[in-house]
Structure 1
Amino acid sequence: MRRDPDSILTADHRAEPRGAGERDPYLTQLGERIRSLRAARGMSRKDLARGAEVSERYLANLETGTGNASVLLLRQVAAALDVPLPVVLAEVDGQLDASGQPGQRATEFSQLVQWLAQLPAADLARVREAARHALSPAESRDARHRRIALIGLRGAGKSTIGRALAAAEGMPFVELNTVIEREAGASLSEIHSLYGQAAYRRYENRALDRVLREHDAMVLATPGSLVSEPATFNLLLARCFTVWVKTSPEEHMARVVAQGDMRPMEGNREAMADLRRILQARTPLYSRADVSIDTSGQDAATSLTALRALLPVAH
């Protein structure tokens, strides 16, 4: 049962809306941070409110900086976002871009904190030692360049271009979504509905680890939200030459609908606004790719030619 957030707040700290001129700067940035984390996870406000057991109205106040929250409530929100509480509470002063969104430095810091928080003590010590050495020797870079991983939001053209690239380069093509389903013994929708997002992330990480062990060379198409999971994304960046396949929000939406998937439009009048927000939130993450190609207005053959021109010689 969803709890009333006021029931766990004291009378002096209830999440009552403030006037526009009375907003606390930290609460405004805290709200934007929660909203950006939600967008990066691809969660709607309704999804987060349900997961955190609060009302949508309360969450809206929190995200806009007009509501204050107890630490207990923020723990619920963090748990629903599947991130450590320090990531939600982290100071973001001076780390916002011109549009008021967390910049690349703040996003990367958040990713690093999430990843480190999940490590056992022994692994954390290994990370500390590894940081003292060079990032990667030449032979590791060569091995990495034989695996081409495509990242980006659904509808950008990852599967279409990936299959064409694999055929042109004589490499196997791997859809990570297919491997995830095989790893879990269930469809993606069943994984989410039966086991939840945390379980999906575990299967995603296992699937990536498996394909990396099984393929010295390949073209890999990844799920659009993979970049939101620090440990999995860092593994991909370390072991693959990554390509951000991007396009305009309009083409993203049109291609998904053209594939016969009407879910983006069903019951959601703000589908395009949500899509833009997700793209904006994930852009600093997608930008960590080695190279990027824009497929807007391009056919598959033109995009393939552009991509092959960007690949390292060692592939």
Structure 2
Amino acid sequence: MLETVQSNGIDRESSDKRKTRESTNTEFLELVGSRIKKIRKEKKITRKLLSEQSGVSERYLALLESGKGNVSIALLRQVAQSLDVEPEILVSNSAPINGESRLLLGLLAGLTSNDRLRFKDQLLRELRNSPANRSYRIALIGLRGAGKTTVGERLSIILNIPFVEIDREIEKLVDAPLSEIFITYGQEGYRNLEKTCLENVLSNGDNCIISTGGSIVQEQSAYDLLLSTCYNVWLKASPKEHMDRVVAQGDLRPIAGNSKAMEQLKEILIKRQSSYEKADVTVATDGKDPHIIASQILADRTLRKLIQHTN
């Protein structure tokens, strides 16, 4: 009897591991497929032409781009050569770096620190003024309790584009809840994971609504990436509104045994305000229904131009 129970336990554990491997493999194939499709479209290469150049059938390329083709290393190399990229670009979890990007990185390495800062500021200004670069990916920023999830879901329905929460992407990547991630990896590890997931979302090139962590503005490289590739909306709420919403969600941790919780929240808002103000638009959310907030965001002239340009 005991042996049967132990055997069943081992079988369940093996089954769980097998399902995890299968899920990971599926995600990997989807990543490779989306990467190939994105690069092919950027280079304005039809699937038929890619098939002719790579020797890979058009039907198999279609399966590959949909994430259903279990490609061999040899075939992947053929496709990469025809796209004029290194094979690792197609399989990396990070955003792809092509030859031009490597050249720019080399040039930047030769600049002084001040020159790099000036170059970065100029580049960000140009990218933010280019509808083609930003499409209409809308990034919602602000502290927890600002309404990013509810407003993001509403915008997603109105615009019929996906809603992506970076914190949920981190949990999927690590296969652990956020609370455990902070314990295991710490704040710095979380920020590294946050940037990786943001790069992965942006690398797809798809229009979407992105909800970010409240502290993303403190990670300069990740925030610069967000500013240069998305239309950013600061959902601004008063300290009391932030606290009331978090508590209403059933999370009493911010105030449990902490008489200075409100003062600390005010300090965080003051510290981050100048960074939040770099957003394209600020929308006050105190006492407002998510539908009203979404309508205010969509009424912005700059965003309407981005949507019209994409459509």
SS at match of 1:313: helix
In structure 2, relative to structure 1, the CA distance for the partners of 1:262 and 1:138 (3 Å cut) is: closer
SS at match of 1:245: strand
Is contact 2:128–2:227 with CA below 8 Å preserved after alignment?
no
Moved more, 188-197 or 221-230: 188-197
In the alignment, does 2:211 pair up with 1:221? Answer: yes
In the alignment, does 2:151 pair up with 1:164? Answer: no
* Alignment equivalent of 2:144, drawn from 133, 149, 154: 154
Structure holding more helix per residue: 2
Question: CA separation in 2, counterparts of 1:294 and 1:132?
Answer: 27
How far did residue 130 of structure 1 move? 4.5
In structure 2, relative to structure 1, the CA distance for the partners of 1:238 and 1:271 (3 Å cut) is: same
Aligned residue type for 1:247: A
Q: TM-score scaled to structure 2, two decimals? A: 0.59
In structure 2, relative to structure 1, the CA distance for the partners of 1:284 and 1:142 (3 Å cut) is: same
Question: CA separation in 1, counterparts of 2:215 and 2:132?
Answer: 27
Where does residue 243 of structure 1 map in the other structure?
233
Is contact 2:237–2:285 with CA below 8 Å preserved after alignment?
yes
For residues 208-259 of structure 1, the C-alpha deviation after alignment (integer angstroms, 9 at most, x for no partner) is: 0000012420010101011111111111111111000011111110000011
TM alignment of 1:202-213, pairs within 5 A = 202-213=192-203
Where does residue 286 of structure 1 map in the other structure?
276
TM alignment of 1:22-37, pairs within 5 A = none
Q: Kindly name which structure, 1 or 2, has the bigger radius of gyration based on alpha carbons.
A: 2
For residues 30-66 of structure 1, the C-alpha deviation after alignment (integer angstroms, 9 at most, x for no partner) is: xxxxxxxxxxxxxxxxxxxxxxxxxxxxxxxxxxxxx
Is contact 2:127–2:133 with CA below 8 Å preserved after alignment?
no
Is contact 2:146–2:236 with CA below 8 Å preserved after alignment?
yes
Moved more, 189-198 or 200-209: 189-198
Where does residue 314 of structure 1 map in the other structure?
306
Aligned residue type for 2:201: V
SS at match of 1:312: helix
In the alignment, does 2:251 pair up with 1:261? Answer: yes
Aligned residue type for 1:170: N
Is contact 1:143–1:216 with CA below 8 Å preserved after alignment?
no
TM alignment of 1:97-246, pairs within 5 A = 123-125=108-110, 128=116, 130=119, 135-136=125-126, 140-246=130-236
How far did residue 139 of structure 1 move? 8.8
How far did residue 312 of structure 1 move? 3.4
In structure 2, relative to structure 1, the CA distance for the partners of 1:218 and 1:246 (3 Å cut) is: same
For residues 83-136 of structure 1, the C-alpha deviation after alignment (integer angstroms, 9 at most, x for no partner) is: xxxxxxxxxxxxxxxxxxxxxxxxxxxxxxxxxxxxx98654478395597643
Aligned residue type for 1:304: A
Question: CA separation in 1, counterparts of 2:281 and 2:210?
Answer: 15
In the alignment, does 2:259 pair up with 1:277? Answer: no
In the alignment, does 2:308 pair up with 1:300? Answer: no
For residues 266-304 of structure 1, the C-alpha deviation after alignment (integer angstroms, 9 at most, x for no partner) is: 111111111111011100010010111001111112111
Question: CA separation in 1, counterparts of 2:201 and 2:244?
Answer: 31
SS at match of 1:314: helix
In structure 2, relative to structure 1, the CA distance for the partners of 1:284 and 1:253 (3 Å cut) is: same
SS at match of 2:305: coil
Question: CA separation in 2, counterparts of 1:270 and 1:133?
Answer: 41
In structure 2, relative to structure 1, the CA distance for the partners of 1:192 and 1:140 (3 Å cut) is: same
SS at match of 2:235: strand
For residues 163-215 of structure 1, the C-alpha deviation after alignment (integer angstroms, 9 at most, x for no partner) is: 10111011111001011112222221111111211111110110000000124
Question: CA separation in 1, counterparts of 2:129 and 2:220?
Answer: 25
SS at match of 1:223: coil
Unaligned runs of 5+ in 1: 1-119
How far did residue 138 of structure 1 move? 8.7
Question: CA separation in 1, counterparts of 2:260 and 2:122?
Answer: 48
Is contact 1:152–1:244 with CA below 8 Å preserved after alignment?
yes
Question: CA separation in 2, counterparts of 1:254 and 1:268?
Answer: 15
